[in-house]
A and B are shown apart, each in its own frame.
Chain A
Amino acid sequence: MSTSWKQLLFQTVLLLISCRPTQTKTSGPTPPPLVPISPLSTAVRSVVLEGDSHTEKVELENPVDLELECVWSGNLNNLPNVTGVWRKGGDELENSRLAVPLENEKYHLRRVFRIVSEENLGNYSCVFGNEAKVDFILAAPQMGEVRDKPIVSYVGDSVVVVCKMEATKPKPLSWNWYKANGTDKEQIIYAAESHQYEIKDKDWTSKLVVHNLTEADSGSYHCEAVYALGTTMGHVELKVITLWEPLKPFIAILVEVVVLVAAILLYERSQSKKKCSGENGTNAEQSNTL
């Protein structure tokens, strides 16, 4: 009986020793088992390179598994293998250098990137040898039409500053407004706290209403569209002037009109006086001859 107990103890100890966790090599970061991995949607962007280089803008709003593909038809002497490399922001990515075989007269470079936060955005490039390269610029959706000339308004009046995201692009989650202080320092505008500001967000546009303008309110206003992956900025200039500014040309033109009208009427008066005196003269002559 005692030998079976000893055997069991020995087997148990052996089992415990062999079951020690060992380091395994995995291709990517293993997420901790407690946090569930939400299935990300996938997207593919493929570029066929004509020439030496190409830049492709990719706009992303939500976390995604993005597959980037570069296809190159090579040059005059096509080697059976070419070195392909992936770079982010100029730095070579780990384990991305490989030999690309020639398939059907073309070289294909593919890689899947997990885009989950703002750090994952940036400039990705695939490079064939030292000759051809495609740049993918990953960013949050950019604003289209931004007014480059300032909005002009008047002291005491109110103004509506509009920032619009194109309706073809995804809707922003929220908006933020900043006022630049001239020394590049930006102050966020909290509409709830102030009497002067009002922010109205609707679908793809955000409107900042500024009441009781003063000349100090002139300057640059920045609007920020917030997406899951990042933010985009747009800016609008505001210029506040007094009523005297347009009043100057108004008075100038008024004076011009009065002068012209007076000149024309006086000229007419003098013409008719000449005619009157001329006619009186001829009438007198006629009566004399009779």
Chain B
Amino acid sequence: MMIKAPIHFLNNRVFLSATVTVWYNRDADSIMPPPAATNLGHTPPDGGWGWAVVLGSFISIGFSYAFPKSLTIYFKEIQAYFSVSYSEIAWVSSVMLASMYAGGPVSSVLVNRFGSRPVVMVGGVMVCAGMVLASFGTTIIHLYLCVGVIGGLGLAFNLQPALAIIGTYFQVKRPLANGLAMTGSPVVLFTLAPLNQFLFDSFGWRGSFLILGAIVLNCCVAGALMRPVNKAIQPKPKLEAPPCDQEDPSANANAQSANLLTEESQSEGKKERCLDKFIDVSLFKHRGFLIYLIGNVVMFFGLFAPVVFLAPYARHQGVDEYSAAFLLSIFALVDMFVRPLTGFIGNTKWVRPRIQYFFSFAVVYNGVCHLLCPLAEGYSGLVVYTVFFGVAFGMLCALLFEVLMDLVGPKRFSTAVGLVTIIECGPVLLGPPMSGALVDKFGDYKYMYYACGVIMLVPGIFFFIMNYYNYKKLDEERRQSAGAEMRNSDEAVELKMNQIEKIAYETDG
């Protein structure tokens, strides 16, 4: 969209470049998020190597979410080996999940400093080391530390950077890229489950942990794919002019005009470099971030419990063990296909500008699904419920991080997601045990489903209302800033015209 101005066409071309810059911004507003979000400093390629990066993110996100869930196959034997109760062994999964969420801010700080690639590779090595050490474990505490703490932290180092790098590579096609990357979770879970069973039958739990350590090292391959985006391709001219151009006075004029336009972004860059060292607390004043945070914290209490209790609920209804496990497979399959589809829909020109409403709809749909679950009768009723739930869950997960990127912008996304995950740590860990307590107290699963349904419905409605308000405010702000920009660019063009006239007058004279 930028026409590079050959320097010898002074009058017309300089004028032209200035107007084209303004046009670029105006055009962008119609299909892209508000201007605050696009201040990346470079044009995202929206393709090319970006798709390889999506593959890398797919692998990293897949392992981060699926790995803790897939380890449960080993619990029975480890429980017998160490002579501990089931709840003690289940703690391994919880500690891993807690470390993964709590490691968010650490991960964000590292990504801001070093970029995605080194962090992901270090994360992969950490999980591998944790699993290898655990395979030689002699006590259950050993497992908590190696698998739980080290493994969980390594997965945190995989999750955040994988999400953040998508924002740097994609702008126009970002919802689709996010949807595709998030599909990693059900796909990896679907592959790991039978693989884990095979490893367990062939090698026992120790050998399996060793081999899983190697398998998870493939996150390093994912990290290698996460090439830092080429920031040299930018619409604004370079501030450091090449040596041979400095002799030309017209080049100076061009550089000066460039300076006028990029003054603001320069000062912003300096400010951000200071804040990068610490957690960006200014995010808590960001309206969109607060809406997202409050809604998510409530929502996460009821998000994972229905997944955890799907098989036990089915068995409670009298379904046999294999059919109950088959329900989970149906759920994973539906989830797998819905996520990229949601990304694609989110990318269409009707949905993209108001993608927050799409997310709110997904949350409300989840809530309604759970409220209607107790009405499902028999195995076929449960299958129908599972399919609808799979669609709901997939939609929600595909959009979960896309809407955060949409609200805070790709630059602050890394810090934002770190804050969000550490605050979500509580609800994620407390949700399933609380639901379990509800089931134990009433002896019936339907109260738990009603509770989860309400817990999802309330944030959904909250999102709808608050996002309507947020969009209104953002539209107002955009109109104001567009007006201000117009005035700025007019002034800049006038200034340049005066300068050029002066130079022309001097050279002529």
Contact = CB atoms under 8 A, between A and B. Distances in A.
Interface of A: 149, 151-154, 157, 159-160, 162, 207, 241, 243, 245-247, 249-251, 253-254, 257, 260-261, 264-265, 268, 283, 287, 290
A151 B200 CA distance: 9
B422 to A, nearest CB: 30
Nearest to B217: A257
A257 B211 contact: no
A190 B134 CA distance: 33
Contacts of A159: 81
A288 B7 CA distance: 13
A149 B206 contact: no
Contact of A250 (B213, B242, B244): B213
A154 B138 CA distance: 13
| Chain B CB within 10 A, most for which of A207, A245, A249 | A249
Nearest to B247: A290
A253 B220 contact: no
B221 A160 contact: no
A253 B217 contact: yes
B208 interface: yes
B207 interface: yes
Interface string B200-236: 0111101110110111011011001101000000000
| Chain B CB within 10 A, most for which of A253, A260, A287 | A253
A246 B218 contact: no
B67 to A, nearest CB: 15
A246 B221 contact: no
B245 interface: yes
B210 A246 contact: yes
A250 B80 contact: no
Contacts of A151: 77, 204
B210 A247 contact: yes
Nearest to A253: B214
B244 A290 contact: yes
Contact of B220 (A153, A154, A257, A268): A257
Given A152-B207, A160-B80, A249 B220 contact: no
Contacts of A246: 203, 206-208, 210-211
A149 B201 contact: yes
B508 interface: no
Contact of B204 (A154, A162, A207, A254): A154
A162 B80 contact: yes
| Chain B CB within 10 A, most for which of A241, A246, A249, A287 | A246
A153 B204 contact: yes
Given A149-B201, A160-B80, 19 more contacts: A151-B204, A152-B203, A152-B207, A154-B206, A154-B207, A160-B81, A245-B207, A246-B203, A246-B210, A250-B213, A253-B211, A260-B221, A261-B221, A265-B224, A283-B242, A287-B245, A290-B7, A290-B244, A290-B245
B506 interface: no
Contacts of A162: 80
A207 B80 contact: yes
Nearest to A272: B230
A261 B81 contact: no
Nearest to B209: A246
A254 B217 contact: yes
B263 interface: no
A234 B77 CA distance: 18
B264 interface: no
Given A153-B204, A207-B80, A250-B213, A264 B225 contact: yes
Contacts of B27: none
Contacts of B203: 152, 241, 245-246
B214 A249 contact: yes
Contact of A268 (B7, B214, B217, B227): B227
5 contacts: A149-B201, A160-B81, A247-B210, A250-B210, A287-B244
Nearest to B218: A257
A249 B211 CA distance: 7
Nearest to B219: A257
Contacts of A157: 206
Contacts of B202: 152
A290 B224 contact: no
Contacts of A250: 210-211, 213-214
A80 B214 CA distance: 78
B248 interface: yes
B221 A152 contact: no
Contacts of B225: 264
Interface string B3-32: 000011000000000000000000000000
Nearest to B223: A261
B211 to A, nearest CB: 5
Contacts of B245: 287, 290
Nearest to B132: A250
A152 B221 CA distance: 31
